[in-house]
Amino acid sequence: MAEFTMELNDEQREVRDWLHGFAADVIRPAAAEWDEREETPWPVIQEAAKVGIYSLDFYAQQYFDPTGLGIPMAMEELFWGDAGIALSIVGTGLAAVGVLANGTDEQIGTWIPQMYGDANDVKVAAFCSSEPDAGSDVASMRTRAVYDEAKDEWVINGTKTWATNGGIANVHVVVAVVDPELGSKGHASFIVPPGTPGLSQGQKFKKHGIRASHTAEVILDQVRVPGSCLLGGKEKLDERLARARERAKASGGERVKNAAMATFEASRPAVGAMAVGTARAAYEVALDYAKTREQFGRPIIDNQGVAFQLADMRTRIDAARLLVWRASWMAVNGKPFTAAEGSMSKLFASETAKTVTAQAVQILGGNGYTREYPVERMHRDSAIYTIFEGTSEIQRLVIARTLSGMPIR
CATH number of the domain where residue 167 is located: 2.40.110.10
Residues 186 and 276 in one domain: no
The rounded distance, in Å, linking the Cα atoms of 73 and 84 is 18
Residues 222 and 359 in one domain: no
Residues 288 and 395 in one domain: yes
Residues 165 and 219 in one domain: yes
CA atoms within 13 A on the CB side of 117: 19
Residues 305 and 177 in one domain: no
CATH number of the domain where residue 28 is located: 1.10.540.10
Residue 159 lies in a domain: yes
CA atoms within 13 A on the CB side of 167: 19
Using CA atoms, how far residue 369 sits from 75, 256, 303, 376, in Å, is 26, 47, 21, 6
Residues 292 and 383 in one domain: yes
CA atoms within 13 A on the CB side of 387: 12
Domain that holds residue 319: 259-404
Residue 254 lies in a domain: no
Query: What is the total count of domains within the chain?
Result: 3
pLDDT for 366 equals 98
Exposed/middle/buried for 222, CB within 10 Å: 0-12, 13-18, 19+?
A: exposed
Residue 241 lies in a domain: no
Write out the catalytic residue numbers.
Answer: 389
Q: Enumerate residue ranges in the chain where pLDDT < 70.
A: 251-266
Residues 71 and 25 in one domain: yes
Residue 243 lies in a domain: no
Q: What is the pLDDT of residues 1-44, one digit of tens each?
A: 778 888 899 999 999 999 999 999 999 999 999 999 999 999 99
Residues 118 and 157 in one domain: no
Residue 252 lies in a domain: no
Using CA atoms, how far residue 273 sits from 150, 312, 323, 376, 392, in Å, is 46, 19, 9, 20, 15
The candidate with the shortest Cα–Cα distance to 147, out of 138, 135, 156, is 156
Among the three residues 77, 97, 122, which one is the final residue of a domain in this structure?
A: 122
Residue 276 lies in a domain: yes
Residue 118 lies in a domain: yes
Residues 291 and 155 in one domain: no
Residues 230 and 326 in one domain: no
Residues 265 and 399 in one domain: yes
Among the three residues 122, 145, 171, which one is the final residue of a domain in this structure?
A: 122
Residue 154 contacts residue 175 (beta carbons within 8 Å): no
Residues 214 and 317 in one domain: no
Pure H helices in 23-66: 28-37, 42-51, 56-63
Name residue 9's amino acid: N
Name residue 377's amino acid: R
Region class of 154: left (phi > 0), else alpha (psi between -120 and 50), else beta: beta
Residue 273 contacts residue 72 (beta carbons within 8 Å): yes
Q: What is the pLDDT of residues 34-81, one digit of tens each?
A: 999 999 999 999 999 999 999 989 988 998 899 999 999 999 999 999
